[in-house]
Amino acid sequence: MRIVSVVGNRPQFVKAAPLSRALREHVDERLVHTGQHYDPELADLFFDELSIPRPDHALGVGAGSQLDQLAAMLRGLESVLGVERPDAVLVYGDTTTTLAGALAARKLGYPVAHVEAGLRSFEPSMPEEQNRVLTDHLSSLLFCPTQVAVDNLAAEGIREGVHRVGDVMFDASLLFADAASHRPGPERWGLRPGEYLLVTVHRAAATDTDEALTALVEVLGSLDRPAVFPVHPRTRAALEAAGLWDRLASASSIIVAPPIGYLDFARALRDAQAVLTDSGGVQKEAFFARVPCLTLREETEWVETVEAGFNRLVGMDPERVAAALASLSVPEEQPSFYGDGHAAELTAEILVRELG
Ligand code: UDP
């Protein structure tokens, strides 16, 4: 059996690490890298340190508008799928790469398997929400990380081919925990464990207008304790274009850094007092590590982390951030929302069974 897996972004490399290993026990996997993320610190580094197999096909799509990228990926995928003729195409998450993989496969008559299906923010203007909804409706196998995701699909009439398997990011966090613990600690930034915040920001809602960027700089400038901010290239470029980069970089509490690798990030997260983020994956990783999370948005797909008291929605609002920082804690009891660490094996087994 042959599966073509399509990846192209940092969070997809993380998800592919455990799943590619599990898949290759059962099937002939061919990996396509669309090139949506191409900066070495967002791409090559991840293949190396997470031992992800080298891509069989690199589409090299690179920078561009969402539609430019989508069009280039569809063209590239049409020729790859024509050569590989897989039994199914596997896509991850909610990016342009995800939608391109699903759409190309479906148009060419190949079944689509979606890993991290059923997530919803119910914010229709969000590019990721559009990608998720469309991809789920193009998929015949839908691998959900949580019961909330299963219920979201049911509410849209999708009940066939839905499997709750757990979260492959949880698998990854367990798989690489030991390697992460050997990475340099926060002393590299002159900080001590438990005495700093870790920040990530990359979403369009936070970076696409000068108003949003100003709000971001104000929130980060208002922090009352040191904060390490490995800056996503897209966020840095937007801040520079808006003339706000120097103001951010000179804020007394902020330590800006280039994006760091997965293992360094996991180590930095483990030792942080709290995380401030608009990332989906990082909200979950904070939960796994029992580190309080402040989500710099008004909504989240990972609602169970909020309901269980591990995550707070604070928007881009200095007052709500300050209030949350004044009372940081996580509950003692940690529910197992995200499975048992074997989501990848389960996904691979179901794929083989359902397609075989
Ligand atoms: N991450 C990383 N280095 C960083 C920031 C994040 O390795 O400097 C990892 C993080 O641990 C998580 C993934 O990137 O596994 C999340 O990706 P991102 O926030 O880009 O996407 P999202 O999860 O929001 O789709």
Residue 74 Cα to ligand 1 middle (Å):
25
| pLDDT for res 282 | 98
Decide: 39 and 14 in contact? Cβ < 8 Å: no
In CATH, the number for domain 178-325 is 3.40.50.2000
Is residue 40 scored above 90 in pLDDT? Answer: no
Start-to-end Cα distance in the chain: 8
CB atoms within 10 A of CB 149: 25
Across 276-280, average pLDDT: 98
What is the location of CATH 3.40.50.2000 in the chain?
2-167+339-355, 178-325
What mean pLDDT is predicted for residues 313-321?
97
CA count, 13 A, side-chain hemisphere, 152: 24
Nearest-atom number in ligand 1 for the CA of 93 is 25
Residue 61, pLDDT above cutoff 90? yes
Nearest CA to ligand 1 atom 13: 11
Give pLDDT tens digits for 85-110: 999 999 999 999 999 999 999 999 99
| CB of 282 shorter than 6 A to ligand 1 | yes
- Catalytic site residues? 202
Q: How confident is the model at residue 206 (pLDDT cuts 50, 70, 90)?
A: very high
Q: Residue 198: is it exposed, middle or buried by C-beta count within 10 angstroms (0-12/13-18/19+)?
A: buried
Give the ligand 1 atom nearest the CA of 260.
Answer: 8
Q: Which residue has the tokens 């999370």?
A: 293
Say how far apart CA 295 and CA 315 lie, in whole Å.
Answer: 7
Q: Say if domain 2-167+339-355 classifies as CATH 3.40.50.620.
A: no
The DSSP 8-state label assigned to residue 125 in this structure reads T
| Closest residue CA from atom 11 of ligand 1 | 262
Rounded to the nearest angstrom, the distance between the alpha carbon of 2 and the centre of ligand 1 is: 29
Distance 332 CA to ligand 1 centre (A): 26
Q: In the sheet where 112-115 sits, what is the strand order? A: 57-58, 28-33, 2-7, 88-92, 112-115, 141-144, 162-164
Per the confidence metrics, is the pTM higher than 0.95?
A: yes
Q: How far is the CA of 182 from the centre of ligand 1 (A)?
A: 19
Across the chain, mean pLDDT equals: 97
Quickly state the pLDDT bin for 9 (edges 50, 70, 90).
very high
**Structure confidence at residue 175 (pLDDT):** 98
Q: Is 76 in the pocket of ligand 1 (CB under 6 A)?
A: no
